[in-house]
Amino acid sequence: MKCLLLANESAEVLFYWTDTEFEQRVQEQYGVSQEEGERLPAFEDSINTLFAPIIISCSTMVDRLGDNYTSFSTENNHIYVLHQFEECLYIAVNGDGDETEEDLKRKIFVMKKLTEIMFGMVTFSGALLRKELRPQDTEQRNRLWKKLRSLLETYSRLRENDQSFLVEAVERLIHPTLCEQCIEFLERRLVQQINSNMDRMGEEVLHAFILVHTKLLAFYSSRNASNLYSSDLLALIILVQDLYPSKINLDETSEELESSSVPEVFYTPEPSPPERESVRQRGDSPPVFQFVDPDVQMAEDSLQTLEAPTPDPSAPSRVFLESKECPMPHSMYCLPLWPGITLVLLTKIPNSHVATSVCYFLEAFVKLEKRLCEGHEGAAAMRGQPSVQEQRSRLEKLIKTWAGMDIQTSQLQNAWTDFKNKAFSRSGSGFTRDLLPSCRNMKTQLCGVYRQFFAAECMGSSQRLAPHLQERALSMVQEKLMDWKDFLLVKSKRNITMVWSLVATAQRYLQKGYATVTLRDGDYFYCYFLWFENETGYKLEVIDIPSSPDDGAPVGMLTCDYYRKLLRYYSKKHQNEVVKCYELFTVHLGVIPNEYILQHCSQLARKLWEPTRIPLL
Amino acid sequence: MENTSVSVSSILIVILEGKRFGLTANCTSYVFHHISKSSFFFLYDSSKVQEEVDLTRDGIYYFSPEDTPIDQQELLCGQLAGVCRCVSELSSSPVRLLHLRKSKYAVRMKDKFLWALSCVVDIPDVSVCDLLDQLIALFCFYNGPVRQSYQLYSKQELALRWARYLCHLQGGSTELHHIFSCLRTIDSTHIDPLLLLKAALILQACQRCPLVLAGCILYRGRVVSTQMPPALTVKVMVYETQTYSQDFQVTANGLSSLVGSPFSSTATTQVFLMPTELHMLRCPPVDRACRYKSRSFLSKKSSFVRSRLLSRTLSDTPTTDTDSSSLDPTHCPPPSYKTVPSSPRSSLSDELCFSPSPSRVNTPIHSNLMNQSEYFTPDSHVHSTSNGTNLCAVEEHLAGLNIKQDIDANSGSETKSNGLNSDQDIQSEEIKAPANGYEQSNCLDNHSDLDSQIKSEENKLDANNHVTNKNGNGETEEEAKTKSKQINRKLKEKNEPTNTPSPHETLEDTSLVPLVLYQHRVKGLVLALLVEPEFITDHSAREEVHHSSLASLNGLEAHLRNTSPGTPGPPGPYTFAHYDCIQNTLTTNVCGRSVGPQDQAFVKATKLVHSHFSRLDTLQEAIVRNASSAVYGTRTTAQETYFLQQGTPVRNSGSPDPQDSAFSLPRKARLRLLKHGVNLL
């Protein structure tokens, strides 16, 4: 009995996922309370009604006590976990004993991560996220929710069956020669060729990698690409697995032939001619803007739904990846080489630099809002930021530029005029609390601009690498790996271990600052070690790891990049060194004397260092 | 053989403890020492807040700390009750735990009541839940079913009691005591073991009187020896501390019966036991069923029967065959006991047919009972017989009231029993109605359907009706009828939400069985005995128990008083805590409140590992280490032990290293703890 839902502060459900058991239970409850002959309410309404008191109570607690619920458990061991991200409340429920409180918390954080990957900075604005997650058009909403549900289920499946999602680490297929060859191939042949082709529609391949199931065979990043964080890579693997699920124990050969030739079969022509090499295709495609009259939008939507949307395999997915400045929009192309083996290209899309500037000002307004809320006024409210006049003129210029770029900026302009009138004119309030609404409005409008530029549906559907380029890339890599294919598929299936409860346990202790844990549980002896090394493999001295609060992000990569933070924390003491962090989990039979177990662990720790010498990410 | 084993277990319960504390003398301050300064406890009755117009404050029966602004009380109670109801409806099960970012609440939901007790987040879930259960259990032990208590007494008066119990459970001792919610025992390291043996013998001697079920001996708020299960000992101790602090105040007050000089006095009060507790006292480990057999006539024939067993010890074997059903607590009690109406054994219900009329309470036994127990003094005018409320506040409160302590036993009982009835009339119409209904259906064999509510109401009446008619034995026909009726009713009510079984009996108000707690104090030493209600009227039994134990108690007290408290030895190079899950006792060298960084690290790790042990039954041992400390925890079904070696320089990388000192902890613990009587081999 499982459920996950997102709601906003007005107790509106933005998204929900339930398993059939939960659904049945809810319907039974409503069946009982319903008068005879009365029709059952729509499931969504039931969910809404059932959870509304909890959601409302949450906001009351926050408002009046500055505290909030994080979990409930009942006598029959149902668990409810709650987490508030900005204006969005996540609730995860389990009533079948399959998941622990930590599991549910992790699920919530993963869901959050997935929305960030899909919607980027739009998640910063509650109002916009609501529109994004809960489109008014039912068809559209169903499509989106179906997608999100399927992602969540894919994640849960991976978490249960795949060790790399158990420990949240990218697992590599270790074959040094092949790995090196592939990287070279990706760099010299593939990426170079695409990036020098005229049909790339202004996109530029930044990262290219090959996945065998969930394992990474080769990864190449172009020189001007920013770092791809492991948390993002893991999330991308979920997206890929969702598109092309690894079917375990299925007869692969028959399907394989079909799907290797699919792209042409399923390819549907562009709605607009793709030959125009232009950065801006938006004008040609039906504009689906944020601030369109809902009725018009509905009409358009219903028109669109008449023609059944066929899956368009050459269309990229929009993903927003972490960078130092802000979530940067990218296009992701998943090209299935064979079932289980996928080539993934991440491209920089036109205008992505706009994201940086939007983000810059968004941050400025967030800071301002914070200072104003804290009661600072006048110059004090702007402390820590570059001069007001300078910022003001920069933003003016940007807005003008954006206005010339075929996107709707009238609302932004209105908001900006309003802000200026209040902040800078004599008649206005100046930098006082009264400025807060205008400040918030500016935030929303900036997010809106960001959305218009980058949200997948707002991008012209023709914005993509030309299909023939994609096909070319596919066949090149297929050719390259043809002889290795079977080997890789077999190899990727090896070294699959059982799921260990140890991992969750160790993470819980790690969260409380314990880096070494040994447990005798039933017939087994479990060990967990975490330590730091420098680049040469010298083991660095242990430090006290800060213990994080219970309501913080769970330890992991995918959820909040705990290890990156840990490394940053450790590096403060070792500023001149590259610090690496290692973990070792072992399970031994309990009958083995402890000293042998520990000796074995220590040998393993020494040996495991060796294969990591292969070229890394 | 059995005798020896029992003595040994009595001795074992006395374990050492590194630090002693004075008694918490007067518990009027409700500061939660280790739980948190901002810790809340409240009892909320949502049945009082049903309509929009109803005020949340009407549902708040008790809120601690009491000086919390009413709007904050309302906010917390309203929100938590609302959210708990919503969740319990969604899951069809009561909420047990509720976490917030800054605190956590253990929750109990029963009928329309909701109890919530908060603490800081790093206290293990299992600990705070235990604490709440103990608190509710304490209340029920002294006051009987909650709903009924609130029908009989004012919120203000019961508030003082909640405060007292809360204070008792949370006051004093170390944080570790709270984590394990264990008994406070005397420091046996400086005590001659013979004294402990003596204490055990005193208890055994008292049991020669068949009316005595079990006892314990306490010295200055700490257990010296006990024959009761830990959960009961805890409850009994509350009364002890309360009378202790009261010792030198003006006693009287009609408070139960407090007889004697300030330095040696006896007192009795009515208490309520859960059937399982009673079962443990009456049945195992020694089958004393013979006593029950005899008691049915004993109550009439009085004391001479008792003399038959003058040299009785715990090892006495039953002289008569016992009914196999006597293993069930509800089967055990003598027929003179009124138990749950829904008891499958209908022989008990036969009394019900005759009992509910107020005129029945006219035997000396009953009148005395009435005298003893405030519980049956229904209206606020007679609650002056409050069972030992020592709080000044209560006394002041009571001072202005009409105290009827000078009424002679018989006439007093008459007055009060009438009062009981009229009180019912006034306070709750619905109580009276079902009671009559029940009477009818049983006695007149009226098969008309009972209202589903009747059952629950009559259950609540349980305690009220407990004064039973002794003439009702052997009405087999009635038995059969009642039985079949009960079965029918059970079937009918199977789906009633009020009938959903709760894992904790405390909340099963319906099944509480009244007994009497007798207490004999000699200065700081207290002999507390759980006795059958007849004990109170049985003067010769009282005399005998009193006189047989007086000399020994005086002697024991003198010895204990003269035993030097013993300066706590220099802190060892290690910290440990040994928790005995069976006896519910803790041995530790962690000192009170002056907790050093090593001790803090130890307590922190202990909390985590204890929490882990409580979640995972198969877990046997754990070593957890961070840069500055390593703690070893190990457990069996009977104990949990935690050990930290102090001052070990921990300078390594944290990578697997067989030389790591953390891994030698199990060996060191085994060696070091032997001298504390902890055997980890």
Residue B79 is nearest to which of A50, A60, A70, comparing CB atoms?
A60
- Given a cut of 70, whether residue B417 has pLDDT beyond it is no
Which pTM does this prediction carry? 0.76
The whole-number pLDDT of residue B566 equals 55
The pLDDT value given to residue A38: 60
Q: How far is CA A536 from the centre of its chain?
A: 33
Instruction: Kindly tell me the burial class for residue A195, based on how many C-beta atoms sit within 10 Å of its own C-beta (0-12, 13-18, 19 or more).
Output: middle
Is it the case that residue B178 has pLDDT exceeding 70? Answer: yes
Which of A73, A519, A531 comes nearest B654 by C-beta?
A: A531
Please state, in angstroms and rounded to a whole number, the distance separating the CA atoms of residues B642 and B598. Answer: 13
- The CA distance from B111 to the nearest CA of chain A, in Å, is 15
Q: Which of A168, A150, A151 is nearest to A159 (CA)?
A: A168
Q: Output the pLDDT for position A521.
A: 94
- The residue among A102 and A406 whose pLDDT is bigger is A102
CA distance B436 to B449: 14
Residue A182 has pLDDT above 50, yes or no: yes
- Minimal C-alpha gap between A94 and chain B (Å): 10
Among B247-251, B333-337, B656-660, name the most confident range.
B656-660
Count how many Cα atoms sit within 13 Å of the Cα of residue A69 in the half-sphere of its side chain. Answer: 28
Element (H, E) at A263: helix A262-266
Average the pLDDT over each of A314-328, A477-491, B326-340 and give the range with the smallest value. B326-340
pLDDT digits (tens, 9 = 90+) for A423-475: 888 777 778 888 888 988 998 899 888 888 887 666 666 788 888 999 999 99
* Integer angstrom CA distances of residue A116 from A189, A321, A440: 32, 8, 20
Give chain B positions within 8 Å (CB) of A517: 622-625
Judged against a pLDDT cut of 90, whether residue A501 lies above it is answered with no
- pLDDT given at position A458: 62
Task: Supply the pLDDT for residue B244.
Answer: 57
Pick from A37-41, A42-46, A173-177, B489-493: least confident: B489-493
- Give A53-72 pLDDT, tens digit per residue: 999 999 999 988 888 999 99
Chain B contacts in chain A segment 567-606 (CB below 8 A): 582, 584, 594-595, 598-599, 601-602, 604-605
Contact B622 A67 (CB under 8 A): no
Give mean pLDDT, residues A331-359. 92
Average pLDDT, chain B: 66
Cα–Cα distance measured from residue A557 to residue A99, given in angstroms and rounded to the nearest whole number: 19
Note which residues in 240-299 of chain B have CB less than 8 A from chain A. Answer: none
The size of chain A, in residues, is 617
C-beta pairs of A177-186 under 8 Å, 24+ apart in sequence: A178/A217, A178/A484, A179/A217, A179/A218, A179/A614, A179/A615, A180/A614, A180/A615, A182/A210, A182/A217, A182/A218, A182/A480, A182/A481, A183/A218, A183/A219, A183/A220, A183/A615, A185/A218, A185/A477, A185/A480, A186/A210, A186/A218, A186/A220
Q: Take residue B500 and report the two structure tokens written for it.
A: 């959903």
pLDDT at A578 over 60: yes
Instruction: Transcribe A50-91 into DSSP letters.
Output: HHHHHHHHHHHHHHHHS--EEEEEETT--EEEEEEETTEEEE
- pLDDT for B239: 77
Please answer whether residues A218 and A616 qualify as being in contact, where contact means their C-beta atoms are separated by less than 8 angstroms: no
Which residue among A57, A71, A545 sits closest to B82, beta carbon to beta carbon?
A57
Question: Count of CB contacts below 8 A, A vs B?
Answer: 173
Facing B90 at nearest CB: one of A50, A518, A544: A50
Provide CB contacts within 8 A for A184, sequence distance 6+.
none
Nearest to A446 by CA among A353, A362, A390: A362
Q: Do B101 and A539 touch (CB under 8 A)?
A: no
B 591-630 → A contacts, CB under 8 A: 604-605, 608, 612, 616, 618-628, 630
Cα–Cα distance between B663 and A592 in angstroms, integer? 15
Rounded to a whole number of angstroms, the distance between the first and last alpha carbons of chain B is: 26
Could you tell me the pLDDT band of residue B318, with boundaries at 50, 70 and 90? very low
pLDDT at B284: 52
Chain A nearest-CA residue for B609: A509
Q: How many CA atoms lie within 13 A of A543 on its CB side?
A: 17
* Min Cα separation A109/chain B (Å): 16
Contact B643, B665 (CB under 8 A): yes
CA B497/CA A416 separation, integer angstroms = 59
Residues 54-93 of A with CB under 8 A from B: 54, 57, 60-61, 64-65, 67-76, 78, 80, 93
Residues A427-447 as b/e (b if ≥16 CB within 10 A, e otherwise) read: ebeebbeebeebbbbbbbbbb
User: Is the sign of the CA dihedral A546, A552, A555, A559 positive or negative?
Assistant: negative
Which segments of B92-154 does DSSP mark as H helices, in order?
A: 125-143, 146-152
- Of these ranges, A40-49, A199-208, B462-471, the one predicted with the greatest mean pLDDT is A199-208
Q: What is the distance in angstroms between the CA of the first residue and the CA of the last residue of chain A?
A: 39
Bridge partners, residue B225, by sequence: B217
Strand partners, B576: B643
Which of the two residues, B607 and B380, has the higher pLDDT score? B607
Answer for the pair A73, B95: CB distance below 8 angstroms, yes or no: yes
Residue B658 pLDDT: 87
CA distances for A540 relative to A514, B203, B653, angstroms: 16, 62, 5
**Residue A347: its pLDDT value, please?**
94
With CA atoms as reference, report the closest residue to B338 among B511, B173, B499, B487: B511
Cis peptide before A263 (omega within 30 of 0): no
Predicted local distance difference test score (pLDDT) of residue B585: 86
Confidence of residue A520 (pLDDT cuts 50, 70, 90): very high
- What pLDDT digit, counting tens, does each position of B519-562 carry? 888 888 899 999 998 888 888 888 888 888 888 898 898 888 88
Facing B95 at nearest CB: one of A74, A93, A544: A74
**Nearest neighbour of B100 by CB, restricted to A67, A516, A604:** A67
CA distance A515 to A562: 14
Question: How many angstroms away from the CA of A76 is the closest CA of chain B?
Answer: 6
Distance separating alpha carbons of residues B586 and B606, to the nearest angstrom: 13
CB B70 within 8 A of CB A38: no
Concatenated DSSP letters of B603-659: HHHHHHHHHHHHH-TTEEEEEEE-SS-EEEEEE-SSEEEEEEETT----S-SS--TT
Nearest CA distance, B130 vs chain A (angstrom): 14
Structure confidence by residue, pLDDT tens digits, B492-520: 443 333 333 344 444 554 578 899 999 88
Q: What is the DSSP letter of B333?
A: S
> How would residue B259 be classed by pLDDT, with cut points 50, 70 and 90?
low
